[in-house]
Structure 1
Amino acid sequence: MKVNSYYRIMGVDPSSQFVGLSIIDVDFIDNLVTVRHSETIKGSQCLSKRKDLLDYHPNRFVRLNGYRDYFTQIINRWQPHNVACEAAYMGRFPAAYQALVECITTLQLVVYDYNPTLSFSTYDPPTVKKAVGASGKSKDKEDIFKALSALPLIYDGVVLENLDEHACDSLAVALTEYRNILNN
């Protein structure tokens, strides 16, 4: 008799405007990956739920608090064994980098509040792309989708074709963590 055992990973593609979030379950015995959940959280929705704070705080701060609330709900619902996040990349726009760092820090605090011993990993964008079979130098957002389409994944209630670039990126981050675990 086979025991249902899995290792659950939450992958996150951070941003101050759109956050991709995916949950995968990994069966290390049969080497199967099941995509359980994938979505994009819109910062504007977080903002509209916290309008009462806009008189007192800047938009980004209010969005981050909305993300914090949503991250908390997702972590409590799915109870991941670890969390992986795409790392902030310092490009030509320091303000965008700062927003990414703030989003990642918000997620890290939620993870810590949930379980201080829960693993939290970050991966740079080229590593994430390569882990799913895309070119690490690719700038084409469709490349991640194409790479995910070629992988032998089981989709449980998730339709890959319905996912936007943020959800696809978060799925790629979760799969990067899976591959990292396999290799270590």
Structure 2
Amino acid sequence: MRVLGIDPGSRHTGYGVVDGHGNRLVHVTSGTIAVPGSLPFPERLGVIFARIDALIRQTAPHECAVEDVFMSRNAKSALILGQARGAAVVAGVQAGLPVFEYSALQIKQAVAGFGKADKEQVKQMVRTLLRVTGRLSSHAADALAVAVCHLHSRTSPLCRQVGEQR
């Protein structure tokens, strides 16, 4: 099972592709889609969509998992993040992939064993679980954590596709 994990953002969208073979996890690729802030917002969304679409064609994942939008104190930031997430979701759906969503709490719990783990703990666990050496951006680490979470949770009743009601 190959999963594309996405950590959405309007300026930096992390991606990570992981193969799951039973309990064995294999890092395929990961990185960050950096979008210039000087671009008009609709064009930034277009870049996110196009880059994820190309990544799907290159890596041929079976499923896609995306971090759910968290509610922040700043409603405008949450809306912008939601739109970036939407561009990523549409790329997955357009490619015919089932797209799943997980909260930050679920992702941290699945990867670090603690729902309140900090970013560095998650990054270290991702490095350990996937035997990643070399440079790993925080956005890519978060996206890999989303993919790992999905591979661990996909048969759980907590697993849900985007838009599915609980």
Same fold (TM over 0.5): yes
**1:122 alignment counterpart:** 101
CA offsets 1:114-134 (integer angstroms, 9 cap, x no match): 11xx21111110110110115
Q: Deviation per CA, 1:77-105, whole angstroms, max 9, x where unpaired?
A: 11110000100001101111111211121
Cα distance in 2 for partners of 1:147, 1:27 equals 18
1:19 is the counterpart of 2:13: yes
Is the Cα contact below 8 Å between 2:6 and 2:67 reproduced in 1?
Answer: yes
In 2, Cα distance between equivalents of 1:109 and 1:36: 22
Tell me the residue number matched to 2:92.
Answer: 111
Asked if 1:177 corresponds to 2:165, the answer is no
Does the 8 Å CA contact 2:2/2:20 hold for their aligned counterparts? yes
CA-CA distance at 1:150 after TM superposition? 3.7
Of 21, 24, 28, 1:32 maps to 24
Q: Aligned runs of 1:61-80 on 2, under 5 Å?
A: 61-80=42-61
Q: Distance in 1 between matches of 2:79 and 2:147?
A: 23
Tell me the C-alpha RMSD between the 2 structures.
1.8
2:119 matches 1:141 = yes
TM-score normalised by structure 1 residue count: 0.79
Quote how far apart the aligned CAs of 1:64 are.
Answer: 0.7
The 5-angstrom pairing of residues 73-112 of structure 1 reads: 73-112=54-93
Deviations 1:37-62 (A, max 9, x none): 01011111xx78xxxxx6xxxx2211
* Alpha-carbon distance in 2 for matches of 1:149, 1:110: 27
Question: Which residues of structure 2 form unaligned runs of 5+?
Answer: 158-166
**Structure 1 runs of 4+ with >4 Å offset:** none
TM-score after normalising by structure 2: 0.87
Task: Find the aligned partners of 1:79 and 1:162 in 2 and give their Cα distance.
Answer: 24
Alpha carbons of structure 1 residues 162 and 181: separation in structure 2 relative to 1, 3 Å:
same
Rg larger for: 1
CA distance in 2, matches of 1:88, 1:183: 21
Counterpart residue type for residue 16 of structure 1: S
Superposed displacement of residue 147, structure 1: 2.1
One-letter code of the match for 2:35? G
* 2:12–2:34 CA contact under 8 A, matched in 1: yes
Unmatched tracts of structure 1, length 5 or more: 1-6, 49-53
1:83–1:177: structure 2 CA closer, same or farther, 3 Å change rule? same
| Separation (CA, whole Å) in 2 of partners of 1:15 and 1:9 | 19
